[in-house]
C-alpha cells in the first residue's frame, strides 16, 4: 500500500492535507499521460522544496533542502520521502501542527516525462533521468541515488539522492529559487498564504518558538501575515 506511510504520519482531523482517498486518475493498468509533477516550497522545521513526480497513481517525493538548481554543476541533496497522494499535487496551505507543521506553497507544477524505459527499474537502479515542463523548471534532469555512509541510520538508508540539472537550453547560472520565489497558484509569498489561514496558536508563539534561522524567519512571516490579516479585516468592516 503505497500511501500507508503518508497516512500513518498524519492526523487528518488536525491537518488540511488531503487523505488521498480519491481514485488515481488515468486508465486502469496504465499511466495517465501526461504525467504531473510539482514542487512544493515547505517552510517546516527547515525550509525545503518537495519535488513530486506522478508515477503508479501516487506522487514519488524527494525533499530538496537547497531547492532545484538550473546550474548543471550543482548536485543538490534530495532525500526520498514517503509517496504522496495524487491530489496532494495542488495543495497549498498551513499545516497547523504535527508532522510537517509549517506553510506549504505550490512553487511550480506542470508535466514530466521519464527519459528512461522503465521508471520502476530506474528507481531500483538509483538513476532516474527525466524532463520537466513547468512554469519555472524545464528541460532535462537526473536523480541519482548516493551510497549510504556507514553511520546512516537504518531508517534513512537508500533515501539519499542528488538532483542534477542536465546541461541544455534550460540550464544556466540563474538562481531560480531567488529569481522566482512565489507561488504559481496564489502568486503570493508564505505570509500571504498564512494571512489567509493563520492558526491562533501560532500568533501566541508556541509554533514560532523555534530557534535558529527558521524560527526567526517564521516569526517575521507570522508578523507580516497578522498585519495583512488585520488590514483586510478593517477593510471588510467598512
Ligand atoms: Mn516537506
What are the distances in angstroms from CA 20 to CA 57, 85, 86, 114, 199?
10, 5, 7, 24, 24
* Ligand 1 center from residue 238 Cα (angstroms): 39
The tens digit of pLDDT for each residue in 33-52 reads 899 999 999 999 899 999 99
* Ligand 1 center from residue 231 Cα (angstroms): 30
* Ligand 1 center from residue 49 Cα (angstroms): 7
Residue 190: the pLDDT is 95
The tens digit of pLDDT for each residue in 49-92 reads 999 999 999 999 999 999 999 999 999 999 999 999 999 999 99
* Ligand 1 center from residue 32 Cα (angstroms): 25
* Ligand 1 center from residue 110 Cα (angstroms): 19
Q: At residue 238, does pLDDT exceed 50?
A: no
* Ligand 1 center from residue 1 Cα (angstroms): 21
* Ligand 1 center from residue 93 Cα (angstroms): 12
Residue 208: the pLDDT is 61
* Ligand 1 center from residue 63 Cα (angstroms): 6
The stretch 149-167 carries a mean pLDDT of 91
* Ligand 1 center from residue 101 Cα (angstroms): 9
* Ligand 1 center from residue 188 Cα (angstroms): 19
* Ligand 1 center from residue 187 Cα (angstroms): 20
* Ligand 1 center from residue 236 Cα (angstroms): 34
Predicted structure pTM score: 0.91
Residue 237: the pLDDT is 46
Q: Which range (16-20, 21-25, 93-97, 110-114) has the least confidence? A: 21-25
* Ligand 1 center from residue 230 Cα (angstroms): 29
Q: At residue 233, does pLDDT exceed 70?
A: yes
Residue 220 Ramachandran class (φ > 0 left, ψ -120 to 50 alpha, else beta):
alpha
Question: pLDDT over 70 for what percent of the chain?
Answer: 92
Amino acid at each position: 500500500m503505497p500511501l500507508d506511510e503518508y497516512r500513518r504520519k498524519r492526523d487528518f482531523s488536525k491537518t488540511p492535507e488531503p487523505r488521498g482517498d480519491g481514485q488515481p486518475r488515468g486508465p486502469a493498468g496504465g499511466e495517465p499521460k501526461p504525467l504531473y509533477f510539482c514542487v512544493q516550497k515547505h517552510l517546516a522545521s527547515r525550509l525545503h522544496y518537495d519535488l513530486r513526480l506522478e508515477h503508479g497513481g501516487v506522487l514519488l517525493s524527494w525533499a530538496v533542502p537547497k531547492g532545484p538548481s538550473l546550474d548543471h554543476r550543482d548536485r543538490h541533496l534530495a532525500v526520498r520521502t514517503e509517496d504522496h497522494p495524487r491530489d496532494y499535487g495542488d495543495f497549498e496551505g498551513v499545516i497547523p501542527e504535527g508532522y510537517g507543521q509549517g506553510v506549504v506553497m505550490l512553487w511550480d507544477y506542470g508535466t514530466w516525462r521519464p527519459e528512461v524505459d522503465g521508471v520502476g527499474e530506474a528507481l531500483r537502479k538509483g538513476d532516474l533521468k527525466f524532463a520537466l515542463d513547468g512554469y519555472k523548471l524545464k528541460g532535462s534532469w537526473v536523480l541519482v541515488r548516493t551510497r549510504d555512509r556507514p553511520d546512516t541510520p537504518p531508517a534513512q538508508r537508500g533515501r539519499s539522492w542528488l538532483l542534477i540539472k542536465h546541461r541544455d537550453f534550460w540550464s544556466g547560472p540563474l538562481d531560480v529559487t531567488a529569481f522566482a520565489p512565489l507561488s504559481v497558484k496564489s502568486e503570493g509569498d508564505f505570509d500571504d498564504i498564512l494571512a489567509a489561514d493563520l492558526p491562533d496558536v501560532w500568533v501566541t508563539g508556541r509554533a514560532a518558538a523555534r530557534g535558529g534561522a527558521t524560527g526567526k524567519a517564521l516569526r517575521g512571516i507570522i508578523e507580516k501575515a497578522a498585519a495583512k490579516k488585520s488590514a483586510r479585516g478593517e477593510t471588510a468592516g467598512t
